[in-house]
Structures are given as structure tokens and as C-alpha cells.
């Protein structure tokens, strides 16, 4: 038995060693991070070491549609505005902004800034990049419509050419942006990575290779991507050409792709990385550790219903499902990571009214009922569709944790609403996106991270035929209210209409909210000035430094 235990111990050490080698921590290459040293201990070097659970999907801002890509792009590039320390838009590539009296024409002076290849950043870089989003049929071309930019809607519908987009280079350093109607949120919208500039000469010189490797890109932000080892790691290094380089304290940020939660934890415990997100299985063990932080995120998870489905097209059946399970027990027992039970669309601590009240507190819980109510709604709905029972397929992305949530939902719904039978269908993330887009599902666990810091980032999802709708929900009154909100100039009236829109959505029981994501984080106390954003990129490293280095 003793020899058997020794063998198992040696095998475990070997496996861990191989895993760490796969993360480039034990390779023979020359960089400190790859030799297994914590880079911030290297004399005179400011370095941060992190992990990500996935590879960078794309470094082309015309195609980016995920948080990993958004985070990298927003740290190596810079648009007219960037998100500041308090998540407010601040001037970046734009040195100043002039606005016409009617609020429709915004004129920006591009500051004296350079790309990492020494070329100047010009107004034309913005015109080219923004038009390219449409030419490339980018995922977020609809953001131009959201931002009220002239002719964006017509271009999306194919009614006008891309050249008619309301953006124009008046000269090398002057950019003019024209809107359909005024919006106080324009600066907020323009922080989004889809609005980043691109140098036309460089992009065209790279052809199909553009953005596929670190050396097939140029950068105008605080950092450059100096290494990109696909599915393994990437490295940011301070950009000496950046216009505000004096504000950047970190020399480098090393990011390692580590999918397994146990391996991430081992790397943190052995001081190979400086911060990780804990899995629910490890929270209780570390919740009293001084490095532990519980952070409420702004990403929401919810059930989409296919409104073309005979049963799920019924409002009473949708409401019954929403009320049929214990959301608090789910976040406490299943997730156990600081996530919050969600009874609405707009999450807590995300948006505040003009008089400083939390949106979630003002609107309260939506469709929060008892099991008996859920059963009554189901009975009514089944009678309306003429069925005694229904079988529903629940589609779920095959990522860690989702399977447990799906099983919990299945057990709760079948226990409390025995007329419903739930079949779980696990699929890869990209396939789930495709199934949603094609409306090829019954019910699906979906998620939404905010694109900008305003309730409209959630409210605007559900307009008829909207790109984020993906369930054929339609309500003409809701559509009209969203249009009113988009042109309302009075802040108080606008906020009242946003609150009304959320209530209207739940009067229809259009979706069933699940939870507001929480993060259980281990982070070294020496990390200072790391900004976590509630929308867009997860992090800004511009103001980060390692204390004592």
C-alpha cells in the first residue's frame, strides 16, 4: 500500500509538472514568466501575471464580440474615448470635442498620437475602421445604429452604401460624426471596441493575415501585444509610442490560457500568477483568506423562450416556469461564488437614477411568486393550448457550471410543475450562438454582458427583429417606448421610461431571469489601480502597478 501511495504521489507531481509546462511555466525559453518565476519579482520590472480560461477569439475589432477580445483590444488600442477609472468616458485619441447647437454634429480633433510602427493616428483611420465593420459584416455593426449615427440603420438594411455613414475626415486631424438625433450617451458608446481606429495602409498590406498574429497588427494604446501563442498565452508590453506613456506603470502583463479551475488555483497558490477567479468548489476553503474578494458582475444569465414554440409562446406557461424554482438556493448552493438571484432584467449596482437610486431597488422584483401561483399559471396555460403535458428541450453551453445549473432547473421545474418534462441538450458555445440565431431551440440558458453603462444596453435587446432578440418576441408598444427613450432629452423622464420598459417586458413574461453573475476572486494585495469595468472590457491596465516594485 505504501509503495502504491508513493507511486500515486509521483504520478501526481509529474502530471502537475506537465500541466505547468504546457502553460509555459517550465519551458527553457528566456523570459522570466516562462522559466517559472513570478515576473513581478524580477528586479526593476513591473509585471502582472494572470490566467484566462480561453484563447483570444479575434484581434480584429471589426469582428470582436466577446469579453476576452474586448479586453485585449481595449488595452492595446484606443478610440476617441476610453473608459476611465470610474467607468466614465474620457477623451483618448480625441483631444477635444465640439458639438453643434442641435446636438447632431460632433467634431473631434485627433491628438498627436502614433501607431506602434511610427505612423500618425489620423481621422481617416476612424472612417476606414468604422466603414470596415459594415463591409466585414461585423457582429456589432448594430452599435452604430444604437449610437444614432447617421444612415447606420439604412446601411444595415442594405438601403444605402457604407460610404453614406455619418463619419467624415475633414482633414488629417479633424473627424466629423453626424447623428440622426442627439444622444447624451455618445461618449459612452464610443468607448466600445467596435469604434476603434484601424490604419488602412497597414490592414491592406496584411491582407488575410491581418490580426491573426501579434506581428500582424499595429497598436495605438497603452500596451502592445508582443507575444501571442495560440491556446497557450499572450503578453502585453508597455507601448513606448503611446501618447500618455508616463501614466503606464506596468512593463508587461502575462496572460496564460488555463481552462481547469484546479490548475488555476495551483498556479495561484505557488505564486505563478497574481489573480484568479475561484470555482464554486473552492470558495468555502478560501473565503476567509485576505486575498479573497466577492465581486458582483454586470453579466446576467436568463432563459430565452422560443416564442414560436406552441407551449412557450404562451405567456402563462412562461410565467409559471419563471416562478417554479428557488433562485436564491441556486446561487447559494449551486453557484456559491457571489452571484445574486435575479428577478429583473437590469442587474443590481449597475445603473442609478438621476436622484441616485439603484434601478433594481426602484423597480423591485418582477414575477417573484410562490409555487402555488406557478402551478395555477401552468394549469391556465395548458388549458389555453389544449395540452395536458409538455416536453421541453433546454439547450445549454457545455462550459463549467452550466451543466449544474441546467440539472438544478430540470429538477426544480419537474418537481414543482410535473406536467413539464425537461430534456437537457449540451452544445459547444459557438453552436449555442448559432442555434439561438436560427431560433432552433425550445428554451436556452443565455447570457448578456452590457455593452455600455446604461439600462438601454439591456432594454434595447428586445425590440422586434433586433439582432439580440433571438426569440421572436414582439410587442409594438414596447418598440414604441424604446424609440421614445432613445430621443428623450429629459434625464428624469428618460429614466422613468426605462423603468416602465422593464416592467412591460415582464408583464409579458418575455424571458425568465436566472442570476446576476458574481465573481469569487483571489488577488494579491500588491496589485493596485487595476480597474474592473461593468461593461465592455473586463480590465483596464493603464493605471495598474505592483506596490513595492
The pLDDT of residue 65 is 86
Alpha carbon separation from 137 to 61, 70, 207, 465, 500 (Å, rounded): 12, 18, 17, 17, 33
- C-alpha span between 115 and 138 (Å, rounded): 23
- C-alpha span between 311 and 387 (Å, rounded): 9
Task: Of 2-11, 205-214, 343-352, 473-482, give the lowest mean pLDDT range.
Answer: 2-11
- C-alpha span between 439 and 433 (Å, rounded): 10
What are the pLDDT digits (tens) for 55-86?
999 999 999 988 899 999 999 999 999 999 99
The angle at the Cα of 100, spanning 98 to 106, to the nearest 5 degrees, equals 50
What are the pLDDT digits (tens) for 162-206?
999 999 999 999 999 999 999 889 999 999 999 999 999 999 999
Q: Grid coordinates standing for 254? A: 502575462
Question: Is the four-CA dihedral 451, 452, 458, 462 of positive or negative sign?
Answer: negative
- Residue 342 burial class via C-beta count within 10 angstroms: exposed 0-12, middle 13-18, buried 19 and up: buried
* CB 179, CB 106: distance < 8 Å: yes
Alpha carbon separation from 68 to 192, 260, 339, 400, 506 (Å, rounded): 13, 17, 20, 17, 31
The angle at the Cα of 458, spanning 452 to 459, to the nearest 5 degrees, equals 120
Is the pLDDT score of 530 beyond 80? yes
Is the pLDDT score of 507 beyond 90? yes
CA 257 to chain centre: 18
Q: What's the mean pLDDT in 461-474?
A: 93
Q: Number of H helices and number of E strands within the chain?
A: 18, 21
Q: What's the mean pLDDT in 344-356?
A: 95
**Considering only CA atoms, which of 219, 148, 151 is closest in space to residue 187?**
148
- Residue 326 burial class via C-beta count within 10 angstroms: exposed 0-12, middle 13-18, buried 19 and up: middle
The pLDDT of residue 299 is 93
User: pLDDT-based confidence at 502, cuts 50/70/90?
Assistant: very high
User: pLDDT-based confidence at 334, cuts 50/70/90?
Assistant: very high
- C-alpha span between 160 and 165 (Å, rounded): 9
Is the pLDDT score of 417 beyond 60? yes
Is the pLDDT score of 15 beyond 70? no
- Residue 151 burial class via C-beta count within 10 angstroms: exposed 0-12, middle 13-18, buried 19 and up: buried
**Considering only CA atoms, which of 314, 360, 349 is closest in space to residue 513?**
360
The pLDDT of residue 433 is 86
- C-alpha span between 295 and 533 (Å, rounded): 11
The angle at the Cα of 228, spanning 225 to 231, to the nearest 5 degrees, equals 140
What are the pLDDT digits (tens) for 512-529?
999 999 999 999 999 999
User: pLDDT-based confidence at 43, cuts 50/70/90?
Assistant: low
What are the pLDDT digits (tens) for 224-247?
999 999 999 999 999 999 999 999
Extract the runs of DSSP E, i.e. beta strands, from 153-239.
Answer: 167-171, 174-178, 223-229, 233-238
In DSSP terms, 545 is beta-bridged to: 528
Mean pLDDT across the chain: 91
pTM listed for this prediction: 0.80
* CB 471, CB 461: distance < 8 Å: no
- Residue 515 burial class via C-beta count within 10 angstroms: exposed 0-12, middle 13-18, buried 19 and up: buried
**Considering only CA atoms, which of 300, 304, 294 is closest in space to residue 450?**
300
Which three-class secondary structure state does DSSP give residue 496? Answer: helix
User: pLDDT-based confidence at 549, cuts 50/70/90?
Assistant: low
Structural domains in the chain, CATH included, are 1-56+67-76+221-274+524-549 (3.40.190.10), 78-219 (3.90.76.10), 295-519 (3.10.105.10)
Amino acid at each position: 500500500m505504501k509503495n502504491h501511495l508513493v507511486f500515486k504521489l509521483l504520478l501526481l507531481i509529474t502530471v502537475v509538472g506537465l500541466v505547468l509546462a504546457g502553460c509555459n511555466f517550465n519551458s527553457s525559453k528566456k523570459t522570466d514568466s516562462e522559466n517559472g518565476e513570478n515576473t513581478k519579482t524580477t528586479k526593476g520590472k513591473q509585471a502582472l501575471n494572470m490566467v484566462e480560461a480561453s484563447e483570444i477569439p479575434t484581434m480584429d475589432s471589426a469582428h470582436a464580440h466577446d469579453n476576452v477580445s474586448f479586453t485585449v483590444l481595449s488595452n492595446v488600442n484606443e478610440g476617441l474615448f476610453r473608459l476611465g477609472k470610474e467607468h466614465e468616458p474620457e477623451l483618448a485619441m480625441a483631444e477635444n470635442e465640439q458639438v453643434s447647437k442641435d446636438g447632431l454634429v460632433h467634431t473631434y480633433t485627433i491628438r498627436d498620437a502614433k501607431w506602434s510602427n511610427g505612423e500618425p493616428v489620423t481621422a481617416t483611420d476612424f472612417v476606414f475602421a468604422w466603414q470596415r465593420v459594415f463591409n466585414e459584416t461585423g457582429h456589432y455593426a448594430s452599435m452604430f445604429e444604437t449610437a444614432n449615427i447617421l444612415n447606420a440603420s439604412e446601411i444595415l438594411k442594405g438601403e444605402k452604401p457604407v460610404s453614406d455613414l455619418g463619419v467624415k475626415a475633414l482633414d488629417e486631424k479633424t473627424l466629423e460624426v453626424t447623428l440622426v438625433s442627439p444622444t447624451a450617451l455618445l461618449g459612452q458608446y464610443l468607448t466600445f471596441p467596435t469604434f476603434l481606429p484601424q490604419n488602412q495602409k497597414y490592414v491592406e498590406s496584411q491582407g488575410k493575415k491581418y490580426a491573426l498574429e501579434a506581428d500582424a497588427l499595429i497598436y495605438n494604446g497603452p500596451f502592445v501585444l508582443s507575444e501571442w501563442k495560440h491556446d497557450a498565452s499572450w503578453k502585453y508590453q508597455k507601448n513606448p509610442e503611446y501618447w500618455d506613456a508616463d501614466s503606464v506603470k506596468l512593463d508587461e502583463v502575462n496572460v496564460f490560457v488555463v481552462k481547469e479551475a484546479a490548475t488555476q488555483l495551483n498556479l495561484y497558490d505557488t505564486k505563478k500568477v497574481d489573480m484568479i477567479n475561484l470555482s464554486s468548489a473552492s470558495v468555502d476553503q478560501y473565503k476567509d483568506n485576505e486575498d479573497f474578494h466577492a465581486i458582483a458582475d454586470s453579466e446576467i444569465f436568463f432563459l430565452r423562450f422560443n416564442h414560436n414554440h406552441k407551449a412557450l409562446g404562451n405567456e402563462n406557461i412562461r410565467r409559471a416556469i419563471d416562478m417554479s424554482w428557488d433562485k436564491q438556493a441556486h446561487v447559494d448552493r449551486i453557484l456559491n461564488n457571489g452571484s445574486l438571484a435575479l428577478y429583473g432584467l437590469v442587474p443590481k449596482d449597475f445603473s442609478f437614477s438621476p436622484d441616485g437610486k439603484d434601478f433594481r431597488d426602484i423597480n423591485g422584483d418582477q414575477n417573484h411568486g410562490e409555487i402555488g401561483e406557478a402551478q395555477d399559471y401552468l394549469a391556465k396555460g395548458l388549458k389555453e393550448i389544449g395540452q395536458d403535458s409538455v416536453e421541453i428541450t433546454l439547450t445549454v453551453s457545455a462550459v463549467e457550471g452550466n451543466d449544474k445549473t441546467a440539472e438544478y432547473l430540470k429538477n426544480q421545474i419537474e418537481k414543482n410543475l410535473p406536467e413539464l418534462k425537461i430534456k437537457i441538450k449540451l452544445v459547444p458555445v459557438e453552436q449555442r450562438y448559432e442555434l439561438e440565431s436560427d431560433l432552433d431551440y425550445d428554451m436556452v440558458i443565455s447570457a448578456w454582458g452590457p455593452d455600455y453603462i446604461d439600462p438601454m444596453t439591456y432594454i434595447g435587446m428586445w425590440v422586434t427583429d433586433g439582432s439580440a432578440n433571438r426569440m421572436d418576441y414582439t410587442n409594438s408598444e414596447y418598440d414604441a417606448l424604446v424609440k421614445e427613450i432613445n430621443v428623450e432629452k429629459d434625464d428624469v423622464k428618460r429614466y422613468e421610461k426605462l423603468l416602465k420598459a422593464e416592467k412591460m417586458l415582464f408583464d409579458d413574461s418575455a424571458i425568465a431571469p436566472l442570476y446576476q453573475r458574481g465573481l469569487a476572486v483571489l488577488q494579491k494585495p500588491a496589485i493596485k489601480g487595476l480597474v474592473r469595468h461593468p461593461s465592455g472590457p473586463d480590465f483596464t491596465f493603464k493605471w495598474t502597478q505592483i506596490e513595492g516594485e
